[in-house]
Amino acid sequence: MKNSLRFYLQLAFTLLVCAFLIVPVVLSVLAGVTENFFVGLSSGFTLRWVAQVWDTYQMTIWRSVAIALACLAVTLVVGVPLAYMLARHQGGNSRLARVFEELLMMPVAVPGLATALALIMAYGQYRAFRGSLLFILVGHVLFTLPFMVRPVLAVMQSSQLAVLEEAAASLGAGIRQRFFGVVIPNAASGILAGALMVVTLSIGEFNITWMLHTPLTMTLPVGLADAYASMRLEVGSAYTLIFLLMIVPLLVAMQWATQTTRTRVRL
């Protein structure tokens, strides 16, 4: 009896927390497809707010997608070899490797506004660079690179790469063949998890982007804030709906990839 009561109390608390988190999102989505939010659902459903958002802010969506894909490419090229280097040197308990790994996590610990301000102070005098999407890309790479390195490093540390590489070397494989034929396939689940995380974080990143953007380089999250600040509530909510349609599938895929990575690490 006591265990049954505890179960129902826990279930009620869980449902209450879920409702607290989900209800505002549902209301925001409904506002984006309602003729008049203040009248309510009785005013009728419409997609004209979504169409208005697309007409006004579609370039911010394409910019966010372009930056996210470019950020993914950079973090793959830089992060995977970096994780490989850390995995190889951590096997020897290298103090330098541990220090470097901690420094790599600094952009996550430092507030995004502080990172953006540091970039502006360092490179703000280069006007062409300051007003380009490349400037925002640099901020996104600094922020997302640890999220690529961490899952890849975790899988590499659990895959006994040293043994596999030694076996491949004994068969005559060069360093390039070992990296692309042994390391990359064995770290594929970590690379996938890191890639999904990088794209999701880049598309949704606001703090760094808000400081670094210009009116010509506005991205999706900044456009969302602008829509809520300067237009009708229904327009901002329709923008939120588009944002969720982009982010939610990525979050589901990221959860699946992360679970796969954890299973691989346990095995």
pLDDT greater at residue 193 or residue 230: 193
Tell me if the pTM is above 0.75. yes
The amino acid that residue 49 corresponds to is: W
Neighbours of 74 (CB within 10 A): 18
Does the pLDDT value for residue 184 go beyond 80? Answer: yes
d(CA 87, CA 192): 18
CB-side neighbour CA atoms (13 Å) of 53: 27
CA distance 265 to 156: 9
Q: Which pLDDT value is given to residue 265?
A: 53
Q: Contacts for 27-33 with beta carbons within 8 Å, 24 or more apart? A: 28/237, 28/240, 28/241, 29/237, 29/240, 29/241, 29/244, 30/237, 31/233, 31/234, 31/237, 32/234, 32/235, 32/236, 32/237, 32/238, 32/239, 32/240, 32/241, 33/238, 33/241
For the chain, give every domain's residue range: 50-266
Architecture, CATH, for domain 50-266: Orthogonal Bundle (1.10)
Q: What is the pLDDT of residues 123-159, one digit of tens each?
A: 888 888 888 899 999 999 999 999 998 888 888 877 7
- Residue-wise pLDDT for 20-31, tens only, equals 878 877 877 777
Mean pLDDT of the chain: 81
pLDDT the model gives residue 267: 54
